[in-house]
Structure 1
Amino acid sequence: MENENFFLSEAMRMNGVEKSDIETILVSIFHGSYDGVYVADKNGVGVMVNRAYSKITGVKSHELLGKSMETVVKEGIVSESVTLKVLEEKRPVTIIQTVRGKELLVTGSPIFDPGGDIAFVVTNVRDISDLNQMKNALYQSRKLTEKYLSEIEDFKKRELIQMHVDGIVAQSQEIMKVFHLARKVAKVDSGVLVLGESGVGKEVIVNYLHNESDRADKPLIKVNCGAIPKHLLESELFGYEKGAFTGADSHGKPGLFELANGGTIFLDEIGDMPVDLQVKLLRVLQEFEIMRVGGRKSIKIDVRVISATHMNLEEMVDKNDFRRDLYYRLNIVPIRIPPLRERKADIVPLAFYFLNKTNKKSKLNKRFHPEILNFFEKYHWPGNIRELENLVERLVITSDHDEIQIKDLPPNLLRGLEKTTTEKGKLKEILANVERKVIKEQMEESRTTRRAAMELGISQSALVKKMQKLGI
Structure 2
Amino acid sequence: MKDNLDRYKYIFDEILRMTDDGFIVVDKEGIVTDINDQYCDFLGTRKEKVVGRNIKETISNSKMIDIMQNACREEGAIHKFVEGETKEADNKFLLVSRSCVYNEEHEVIASVAQVKFRLQTLDCAKKLMKEYSELEFYKEEYNKISTKYYTFDGMIGSSKNFLCIKKIAMRAAKNSFPVLLTGETGTGKEVFARAIHNGSDRKDKPMVSINCGAIPSELLESELFGYEEGSFTGAKKGGKIGKLIHADGGTVFLDEIGDMPKDMQVKLLRVLQEKEVDKIGGTTPVSVDIRVIAATRQNLAKMVIEGQFREDLYYRLNVINIEMIPLRDRREDILVFANCFLNKINDEYKTSTTLSKEVKKCFQGYSWPGNIRELDNVIRSSYASCDEFVIQLTDLPTKMASSHNVNIFSGSDEKMLKNMVNSYECSIIKEVLKKCNWNCQLTANRLGIHRSLLYKKMKKFGIKIKKTI
Taking the aligned partners of 1:258 and 1:245, their CA distance within structure 2 comes to: 20
Q: Is the Cα contact below 8 Å between 1:167 and 1:204 reproduced in 2?
A: no
Taking the aligned partners of 2:315 and 2:413, their CA distance within structure 1 comes to: 52
Superposition pairs for residues 220-235 of structure 1, below 5 Å? 220-235=207-222
Q: 1:264 aligns with which of 243, 251, 254?
A: 251
1:359 aligns with 2:352: no
Instruction: Indicate the residue corresponding to 1:318 in structure 2.
Output: 305
Q: 1:413 aligns with which of 394, 400, 406?
A: 400
Q: How much does 1:430 deviate? A: 12
Change (3 A) 1:166 1:292: farther
Q: Match of 2:396, as an amino acid?
A: L
Instruction: Indicate the residue corresponding to 1:201 in structure 2.
Output: 188
Q: Is the Cα contact below 8 Å between 1:225 and 1:233 reproduced in 2?
A: yes
Alpha-carbon displacement from aligned partner over 1:105-130 (angstroms, at most 9, x marks no partner)? xxxxxxxxxxxxxxxxxxxxxxxxxx
Q: How much does 1:175 deviate? A: 1.1
Secondary structure at the residue paired with 1:170? coil
Taking the aligned partners of 1:279 and 1:389, their CA distance within structure 2 comes to: 37
Taking the aligned partners of 2:359 and 2:329, their CA distance within structure 1 comes to: 19
Task: Tell me the C-alpha RMSD between the 2 structures.
Answer: 2.1
Secondary structure at the residue paired with 1:308? strand
Taking the aligned partners of 2:386 and 2:154, their CA distance within structure 1 comes to: 23
Q: How much does 1:418 deviate? A: 3.1
So what's the TM-score if we normalise by structure 2?
A: 0.55
Secondary structure at the residue paired with 2:404? helix
Q: How much does 1:161 deviate? A: 10
1:388 aligns with 2:375: yes
Matched positions, count: 270
1:349 aligns with 2:336: yes
Taking the aligned partners of 1:252 and 1:162, their CA distance within structure 2 comes to: 35
Instruction: Indicate the residue corresponding to 1:164 in structure 2.
Output: 151
Q: Match of 2:160, as an amino acid?
A: Q
Q: Identity percentage over the alignment?
A: 47
Alpha-carbon displacement from aligned partner over 1:238-268 (angstroms, at most 9, x marks no partner)? 0000011111111000000011000000000
Change (3 A) 1:428 1:327: farther
Q: How much does 1:162 deviate? A: 7.7
Q: How much does 1:396 deviate? A: 1.4
Secondary structure at the residue paired with 1:381? coil
Q: Is the Cα contact below 8 Å between 2:180 and 2:317 reproduced in 1?
A: yes
Q: Is the Cα contact below 8 Å between 2:365 and 2:404 reproduced in 1?
A: no
Secondary structure at the residue paired with 1:267? strand
Q: How much does 1:289 deviate? A: 0.4
Q: Match of 1:321, as an amino acid?
A: Q
Change (3 A) 1:288 1:428: farther
1:250 aligns with 2:254: no
Segments of structure 2 that go 5 or more residues without pairing to the other structure are 1-146, 417-469
Taking the aligned partners of 1:400 and 1:312, their CA distance within structure 2 comes to: 43
1:218 aligns with 2:205: yes
Q: How much does 1:368 deviate? A: 1.1
Q: Is the Cα contact below 8 Å between 2:150 and 2:198 reproduced in 1?
A: no
Taking the aligned partners of 2:177 and 2:284, their CA distance within structure 1 comes to: 26
Superposition pairs for residues 326-345 of structure 1, below 5 Å? 326-345=313-332
Instruction: Indicate the residue corresponding to 1:373 in structure 2.
Output: 360
Change (3 A) 1:384 1:166: farther
Q: Is the Cα contact below 8 Å between 1:168 and 1:350 reproduced in 2?
A: no
Taking the aligned partners of 1:429 and 1:340, their CA distance within structure 2 comes to: 35
Q: Match of 1:320, as an amino acid?
A: G
Q: Match of 1:400, as an amino acid?
A: D
Q: How much does 1:415 deviate? A: 2.4
Taking the aligned partners of 1:242 and 1:428, their CA distance within structure 2 comes to: 76
Taking the aligned partners of 1:321 and 1:280, their CA distance within structure 2 comes to: 16
Change (3 A) 1:239 1:191: same
Alpha-carbon displacement from aligned partner over 1:171-230 (angstroms, at most 9, x marks no partner)? 111111111011111111111000110000001100110011000111010000000000
Q: Is the Cα contact below 8 Å between 1:165 and 1:207 reproduced in 2?
A: no
Q: How much does 1:165 deviate? A: 4.6
Instruction: Indicate the residue corresponding to 1:287 in structure 2.
Output: 274
Taking the aligned partners of 2:312 and 2:414, their CA distance within structure 1 comes to: 58
Deviates more, 1:318-327 or 1:393-402: 393-402
Q: Match of 2:369, as an amino acid?
A: P
1:175 aligns with 2:155: no
Q: Is the Cα contact below 8 Å between 2:362 and 2:400 reproduced in 1?
A: no
Q: Match of 2:317, as an amino acid?
A: L
Q: Match of 1:397, as an amino acid?
A: A
Change (3 A) 1:180 1:403: same
Larger radius of gyration: 1
Higher relative helix content: 1
Taking the aligned partners of 1:162 and 1:231, their CA distance within structure 2 comes to: 34
Q: Is the Cα contact below 8 Å between 2:151 and 2:198 reproduced in 1?
A: yes
Taking the aligned partners of 1:215 and 1:201, their CA distance within structure 2 comes to: 21
Secondary structure at the residue paired with 1:164? coil
Q: Is the Cα contact below 8 Å between 1:202 and 1:308 reproduced in 2?
A: yes
Taking the aligned partners of 2:302 and 2:339, their CA distance within structure 1 comes to: 38
Superposition pairs for residues 454-469 of structure 1, below 5 Å? none
Q: 2:387 aligns with which of 365, 376, 400?
A: 400
Taking the aligned partners of 2:278 and 2:265, their CA distance within structure 1 comes to: 14
Alpha-carbon displacement from aligned partner over 1:401-424 (angstroms, at most 9, x marks no partner)? 1011112112222222233345x1
Superposition pairs for residues 104-143 of structure 1, below 5 Å? none
Taking the aligned partners of 2:401 and 2:339, their CA distance within structure 1 comes to: 21
Taking the aligned partners of 1:162 and 1:255, their CA distance within structure 2 comes to: 27
Segments of structure 1 that go 5 or more residues without pairing to the other structure are 1-159, 432-472
Secondary structure at the residue paired with 2:343? helix
Q: 1:277 aligns with which of 264, 288, 293?
A: 264
Taking the aligned partners of 2:360 and 2:207, their CA distance within structure 1 comes to: 36
Taking the aligned partners of 2:152 and 2:353, their CA distance within structure 1 comes to: 25
Change (3 A) 1:322 1:370: same
Q: Match of 1:221, as an amino acid?
A: V
